[in-house]
Amino acid sequence: MAQLGRYRFLTIAVVFHLIYIYSIFSIYFVSPIVHGMREHHVENQEAPAKRLVLFVGDGLRADKAFQSFPDPSPGIEDSEEARVPRPLAPFLRSRVLEHGTFGVSHTRVPTESRPGHVALIAGLYEDVSAVMTGWKLNPVNFDSVFNRSRHTWSWGSPDILPMFEQGAVPGRVYADTYGHEFEDFSKDALELDIWVFEKVKKLFEDAKLNATLDAELRQEKNVFFLHLLGLDTTGHAHRPYSKQYLHNIQVVDNGVQEITELIEEFYADGKTSFVFTADHGMSDWGSHGDGHPDNTRTPLIAWGSGVARPNVATSGVAKGHEDGFSSDWGLDQIQRHDVSQADVAALMAYLAGLSFPTNSVGELPLSYLDTDPKSKAEALLANAEEILEMYRVKEDMKKSTELRYKPFPGLGDETHSVEYRVSQIQKSIDSGDADDAIKQSQELIQLGLQGLRYLQTYDWLFLRTLVTFGYVGWIVYAMTTVIDLHVLREETKTLRTVPSIIIFSSVLVALYAVLFMQHSPAVYYAYAFFPVMFWEEIWAQRPALIQGCKVLFGHVSSGADQFKLSLAVIASLALLEALVQSYFQREIFSICYLLATSWPAFYGPEFMKENVFLVATWILSCMLMSVFTLLPANKVEDLNLILLGGLLMFVVGVIYLLFEKAILVDAESSKDELSSSSVDSLSRTILGTQVGLIALAMIVTRSSVWYIQAKQGLPNGSKFVGWFTLVASLTVPFLHGLRPNSHYIHRLVVTFLAFAPSFIILTISYEGLFYFAFCLCLFSWMRLEHHVYNHTSSISKAVSTSANPALAAATGHLSSLKDGHYRALTLADGRIALFFLFFLQSAFFSTGNIASVSSFSLDAVYRLIPVFDPFSQGALLILKIMIPFAVMSTNFGILNRRLGVAPSALFMVVMAVGDVMTLNFFYMVKDEGSWLDIGTTISHFVIASLLGVFVAGLELVSELFIGGVEFGTGKTGKVEMKNGSVHGKTMVNGKINGHTS
């Protein structure tokens, strides 16, 4: 490890973190899909219905479906009658009041279209990672209601329908989709739903002239699926409380009524079942994906053949409304029957007389069925046998791989075996005790689900132990590497002996043998490899760890020194804990920024007086930054704030363009001419172009916002100018290479201007103001850290060794370095690493809420990509999120060079310290409780884990942005800092021949 290079270390860091991020899915969210189950269906019963119609209002919230609002229809807003609140879905409401059964369908995270539809149609909750395949055309690898039907006709989005068509029995599922270009967020999304309704009407019209089609339609066990995407698209573009979204509900209700009447007239046999629901809800800010109740509560209405009629309470409030959620729906007299989303698949399969999907974990909701108790008992028993069939297959798989399998206690012996329990239920049915049979079947279903969970979590203890040892090993390993490379200068020898190699190798071989015999996935071998590798390296490098601690803490001798060190450690741990808690409460950043304003005061009034302007700038920037985490993370488009942020960026560019020479000379820079007139002219032209692009970004953003809000569609001209501005702003800065100006302030300004147009085009509210304040804060911090370093270094020269052995030892160590070498790290550099880690978190949280990554609204990307394209739109969103990190890496890289430390030294410290938070979040992950809690803790762990990858990437970005930066003393005795090394002069205590760089 002593010879471990910088890039090799970064490579190990990236690979380790990416692999260990996946551990959360290996432990908590292993795919539940298995194959080889026998199918189960209700025997000896006539199917309640001959066909089934499924309506899915994509993105429809439960409350909006039933609440009353003023009429949102276009063109009548000013009429007196329109202002009177009324239900927006009168037909669906009539089904609830007179014809069927209703309730709330509770979804699970991720509340995205693919997982939601899979739960509805297959009765299966996919693992969270399935959201990554949410828009891919990939064959389904699970059974579904559609696959069990005789034939399924489906209409709707090309992002949903094909995944149920591909992989099903060939020819069984027919999917008619519109093109992706129809999903244009800048236009009226009502057309998407109208298209579906018109296609259904055409099918039945064609059947009147096509005998073959007519015969197919009249067969039993057919399913019709209408996917209505308009609500989701409208909600994203306008929010679910907007008139556009509410009017879309009216359109859906009218369409559902027309299709219902059309089908009932076509068949005229009263043997059709109808189900209306949604795949997920939508938050007030027009997004979904997490476990917020607005995203997980969707409407469920069933009516038609085989469905129970409403249960009306004669007095008081009917059952099911106890939570108060439906208190303003005007349906208190109608019993509400809530279900889990996967239960809908079991309901549809029973109504249409189909076998239950073999991967379904849904429980048949008996309250929705219009049949006798015995039939309900028989149906529920078949449902239980289907779930227990999955348990049997999974248990057989686990038995075949485990060395010492321990069975699930609830189903593990003869008196509790599946066969015995099923026979007891059948006896109750045969004896006429249907209620007891139903009770036993419900208990058996719960036992089956618990057994499936037992098998799903069987390897948890082993995997958690591996991951814990891996993260702790990485933290110690990284710190040992830092000490060896950047404190001791690789002066210690590695103590790797034959016995130690044999011991660690034996541990690894034993782990691999267990994994091999258990047929474990390949990634498990990586989980086992890293802890052994890290701890073997730590053991071999224990002399470096011991010696490094002596060097770093050797000055701590007196009681006062120990007290100061203790306070520093407590403060550092408190900051790390504050960062952990900030994932839950963004306001903690405001407190931290306000506390940070007092930081310069710790260096005395003389330091404050000497750097009064810099200290004032730091205090101002911290106070500005403290405001953003007090603002709502879920933003609404505000053109005035967008333009204000753009104006501040524009003003910064103009000021620098006009006073460039004065600014650079005043910044402790070279006193010589910056460049010849020709060079200066071209450089200023390029800078002027960058400033002009900011103005152009403001103009095109204003135009695009107007067109989108007016629902006139985004003109190609606005789209072209927007893309041109974005691409040009990111490419024009490279033209500075024609006439390089290597001053660090010039490089920072160029970087600031390069990303400014992106932060205007891709912003919806105060994000541009944040970008301005964040860059100001980083610049102030970078310069302040350098002044603090010079101040403490100058003090060390005036203090004797006995009075302050720590500073004297550091001075002696630095003075002994050869020309061009980096200085060694000290304990004081830990503060810099913590500041960087703090800014790293702030770059994300100041404009968003980690509890919902979806709080980063997609509204802005509609100005460039108005047509639904989740991966391209997501890429633009990620670009916007990454910009502050790029700016931060530039400032940190320059600070590294100004302090004379190795380029990777402080980055490595940040990577080690940051994983203290990751390990914290690993133990905070929840797999039980509300899905909001579960989804939030998963997000926390993944984001904290990615910080290690971010930091490794930021170091490389830093090198790209600051390559060739110079710090000099003028033409006479010019000193350059390239790649972190001092060329030409000796650097001692941050000064070069007495002049501060």
Is the per-residue pLDDT at 780 higher than 60? yes
**For 988, how many CA atoms within 13 A lie in the half-sphere containing its CB?**
14
Least trusted range by pLDDT, from 325-339, 539-553, 956-970: 956-970
- pLDDT tier at 803 (50, 70, 90 boundaries)? very low
Mean pLDDT of the chain: 83
918-921 — which CB contacts under 8 Å span 24+ positions? 918/471, 918/944, 918/945, 918/947, 918/948, 919/468, 919/471, 919/472, 919/475, 920/580, 920/944, 921/580, 921/583, 921/945
The whole-number pLDDT of residue 239 equals: 87
Closest CA to 689 of 658, 659, 657: 657
- CA dist 116 and 110 (Å) reads 8
Name all domains of the chain by residue range, CATH numbers in brackets: 47-370 (3.40.720.10), 587-664+680-795+829-902 (no CATH)
In this predicted structure, which of 129-133, 238-242, 519-523 has the lowest mean pLDDT? 129-133
Residue 45: left (phi > 0), alpha (psi -120 to 50), or beta?
Answer: beta
Output the pLDDT for position 541: 87
Phi-psi region of 324 (alpha: psi -120 to 50; beta: other; left: phi over 0): left
CA distances to 101, 398, 451, 585 from 633, rounded to whole Å, are 38, 45, 41, 11
Q: How many CB atoms lie within 10 A of CB 657?
A: 15
pLDDT of residue 587: 87
CB 827 within 8 A of CB 483: no
In the block, tokens 């120990």 appear at 562
pLDDT at 232: 93
Which residues are paired to 156 by β-bridges? 177
Query: What does the pLDDT read at residue 921?
Result: 82
Give the bridge partners for 51, in sequence order.
222, 272
* pLDDT, tens digit, 9 for 90 and up, residues 820-875: 467 888 888 888 989 988 998 888 777 754 433 444 556 677 788 877 666 777 77
Which tokens sit at 451? 């057994």
Read off the pLDDT band of 216 (50, 70, 90).
Answer: very high
Give the pLDDT band (50/70/90) at residue 673. Answer: very low
* CA distance between the termini of the chain: 34
What is the distance between the alpha carbons of residues 926 and 916, in angstroms, rounded to a whole number? 18
Q: Residues 763-770: what's their mean pLDDT?
A: 88
d(Cα 871, Cα 698) in Å, to the nearest integer? 26
- At 718 the pLDDT is 87
Tens digits of per-residue pLDDT, 702-715?
988 888 877 777 78
Confidence of residue 967 (pLDDT cuts 50, 70, 90): low
Amino acid at 319: K
**Residue 678: pLDDT over 60:** no
Higher pLDDT, 10 or 498: 498
Task: Give me the phi and psi of 664, to 5 degrees please.
Answer: -70, -35
Q: What is the band of 127 on the pLDDT scale with cuts at 50, 70, 90?
A: low
* Among 333, 328, 365, CA closest to 350: 365
Tell me the chain's radius of gyration from C-alpha atoms: 33
Least confident of 381-390, 474-483, 546-555: 546-555
Mean pLDDT of 489-494: 72
Please report, rounded to a whole number, the percentage of residues in the chain having pLDDT higher than 70: 85
Tell me the pLDDT tens digit for each residue of 568-599: 888 888 888 888 888 778 889 999 999 999 99
The better pLDDT of the pair 714, 225 is held by: 225
Instruction: Specify the residue for token string 């020194």.
Output: 561
Q: What is the mean pLDDT of residues 124-146?
A: 62
Per-residue model confidence as pLDDT tens digits over 356-404: 999 999 999 999 999 999 999 999 999 999 999 999 998 988 888 887 8
Q: Is the pLDDT of residue 930 over 70?
A: no
> According to the model, what pLDDT value does residue 966 have?
60
DSSP class of 849? B
532-536 — which CB contacts under 8 Å span 24+ positions? Answer: 532/504, 532/507, 532/508, 533/473, 534/470, 534/473, 534/474, 534/476, 534/477, 535/469, 535/473, 535/477, 535/504, 536/500, 536/501, 536/504
Picking from 56-65, 468-477, 654-663, 733-742, which range would have the lowest pLDDT averaged per residue? Answer: 733-742
- 499-514 pLDDT, tens per residue? 999 999 999 999 999 8
pLDDT for the residue 271: 96
Confidence of residue 49 (pLDDT cuts 50, 70, 90): very high
**Element housing 446 (H / E):** helix 434-456
- Please tell me the predicted confidence (pLDDT) of residue 674: 36
Q: DSSP of 717-779, one letter per residue?
A: HHHHHHHHHHHHHHHGGGGGGGS---BHHHHHHHHHHHHHHHHHHT-SSTHHHHHHHHHHHHH
pLDDT of residue 735 exceeding 50, the answer is: yes
Q: What is the DSSP secondary structure assignment for residue 41, as one 8-state letter?
A: -
- Which structure tokens are listed for 530? 């890293």
